[in-house]
Amino acid sequence: MSSIHLTLLDRALILAQHELEAMRTGDVESAESHFHERTELMRQAADTLDEETPEDYRVKLIALQGYNQLIHEEGQELLEQIRSQLISARHTIRGVKGYARVRRMQ
């Protein structure tokens, strides 16, 4: 196997770690940037892949698959947090509007 595969996949694994950490801290812009860069590295690795896939390559792909699952789960949690925040904001706005109406009536 060419060392370029390991280098590309090693870099993709590092980016996956950074992407996951960005998701965990709510830094969606950084996560998206890491995602795009990681996707490009994976494309490059796939473009240069020989017919035979050595064990090291397979192990790194499995590790990347695990990161993909964790990133997906983290994204789902972040989405749920955003939904909860939106619902809370709606309730707050309704309360403020109701308070404002009462104040105008007085």
Q: How confident is the model at residue 22 (pLDDT cuts 50, 70, 90)?
A: very high
User: Is the confidence at residue 105, as pLDDT, over 80?
Assistant: no
Helices (H), 25-54: 28-47
Question: Domain 3-105, what architecture?
Answer: Up-down Bundle (1.20)
- Please tell me the predicted confidence (pLDDT) of residue 97: 77
- pLDDT (tens digit, 9 = 90+) per residue, 29-66? 999 999 999 999 999 988 877 655 678 888 888 999 99
Look at residue 53 in the predicted model and tell me its pLDDT.
66
- Closest to 41 measured CA to CA, from 1, 13, 70: 13
Cα 32 from chain centroid? 6
Sequence ranges of the domains in the chain: 3-105
Mapping DSSP to helix (H, G, I), strand (E, B) and coil, where does residue 11 land? Answer: helix
